[in-house]
Amino acid sequence: MSSRTQPAPGTMKAITQHRYGGLDTLEYETVARPVAAKDEVLIRVQGASINAADWLLMQGEPFVARVAFGLRRPKVSTRGRDVAGVIEAVGDNVRRFSVGDEVYAEVDAGSFAEYTVAQAKRLAHKPSRISFAEAAAVPIAATTALQGVRDVAKIKPGDTVLINGASGGVGSFAVQLAKAYGAEVTGVCSTANLEFVRSLGADHVIDYTGENFTTGEARYDVIFDLVGNRSLAECRRALTRRGTLVLASGNGGRVLGPIRRMLAAMLVRMFVTQNLRPLAAVASGADLEVLRELIEAGTITPPVDLSYPLAETPEAIRYFVEEHARGKITITVTNQNNTKEQHQ
C-alpha cells in the first residue's frame, strides 16, 4: 500500500456511547471505520488507556464541558483519548510519518476502537523499549505531569515537592519527572499504595488516611495537587512563602467542576506572595517526543496496573473508578487478548 493511500471504507469494533450516563450507556458494536483528513493519520489501534476525563465526559460533567462535547448527547460516539498503534494511512499534508510507523498520541475521541484518527501535530513515535499497552498509558497522564513539573511549577534541583495523589495516572508520572528534575519528592497516597509510590522514586510518603499534610510542620517549594480534597487555604499553609501550588483538580460541583477552584486560585494569587497556578495541559507531539527520550533512557517508566481487552472496556472503567488503580489502566486491542493482565 502506498504511504498516501487510504484503505477502502470498512467497519470496525468500537466502544460507543450515544447518551450521557454511567457504564450502562457504553456499547461494544460495529461502526464505520474513520478516514484520515489531510493533516491526520489513520492508526490501527494496539493499545489505549483510561483517564479521569473519560469517566467525567461519559456522564456529561461538568455541564460546562457539554458546550464543546455535545449539549444533549456526545457529538462523537466513540470513547477514548489515549492511543498507541501502527499507522495504516496518512493524509496528503503529512510528511513526518509513514504507513507502518509505530506511534502514540492523544486524540479528541475514538481510541477505544480498532482504528482511530489522530492529528499529525499530536503524534510521536512510540518508545521502542515498551509495549503498545505501556505506550498508551503515556499521552494524557505523562504530558500533564511534564507540563506541570517543567512549565508551571518550573521545578529545579533541590526543590522540595509534594504530590497529592501520587499513586494515580498523572501522579505516578509526576513523581518520576520531579525526581528527574532533581527535586526532593514527597508523595501522598493511601496505605495500600505507599510501597508503590516509593518504588517510583519518592523520597518520602504520607499516608493520607492517618496524616494531613497541610497540618504538619513541613513546608514545600511546590505542591502538585491532583486530588482537590484540601482547600486553597489549607494547601497554602504547607507552602513556603514564595512556593507554587499547581492545581490540576478540584471539587466544584456538576456545573463547573474544577473550574470554580481554578478561578478562585487566580483571584487569591493577586493578593499573596505564593504562586497559585492552574494546570491546563495541552496535547503535544513535541512533548511526547521528549517523553519518548526519557522512556528510552530509562528515566521514567509507564506504570500499568491492569490491561483489559477492548470488549471489556466498561469493566476497565469500573475498576478505574471504584478500585483507584495504581498508575494506569490500559486497553489492549488485539484478537488474541481475551483476558485482563496483571502488571507487576
Q: What is the pLDDT of residue 339?
A: 44
Q: What is the pLDDT of residue 270?
A: 80
Q: What is the pLDDT of residue 138?
A: 98
Nearest to 120 by CA among 288, 313, 322: 288
Cβ neighbours for 124, distance < 8 A, ≥ 6 positions apart: 103, 104, 105, 285, 286, 288, 289, 291, 292
Concatenated DSSP letters for 91-102? -TT--S--TT-E
Nine cell digits for residue 211? 496524616
Q: What is the pLDDT of residue 3?
A: 43
Q: What is the pLDDT of residue 249?
A: 65
Q: Residue 94 and residue 285: Cα distance in Å, rounded?
A: 13
CB 31 within 8 A of CB 11: yes
- The answer to whether the peptide bond before residue 62 is cis (omega within 30 degrees of 0) is yes
Instruction: Give mean pLDDT in consecutive 10-residue pieces for the chain, a chain of 344 residues.
Output: 55 95 95 96 98 85 67 83 98 96 96 97 97 98 97 97 97 98 98 97 97 96 93 94 87 57 74 88 96 98 96 96 91 63 47
E strand spans, the chain: 11-17, 26-32, 40-49, 82-90, 102-106, 115-119, 123-125, 160-164, 184-189, 204-207, 220-225, 239-247, 275-278, 304-309, 328-332, 341-342
Helix then strand then coil, % of the chain, to nearest 5: 30, 30, 40
Nine cell digits for residue 70? 455535545
Q: What is the pLDDT of residue 1?
A: 39
pTM score over 0.75: yes
Q: What is the pLDDT of residue 57?
A: 85
Q: What is the pLDDT of residue 62?
A: 62
- Quick one: CA torsion of 82, 87, 93, 97, rounded to 10 degrees? 100
Question: Roughly what angle, to the nearest 10 degrees, separates helices 169-180 and 139-146?
Answer: 40
CB 43 within 8 A of CB 115: yes
Nine cell digits for residue 64? 460546562
Q: First vs last Cα of the chain: how many Å apart?
A: 39
Return the ∠ at Cα 234 (arms to 228 and 239), rounded to 5°: 100
Q: What is the pLDDT of residue 152?
A: 96
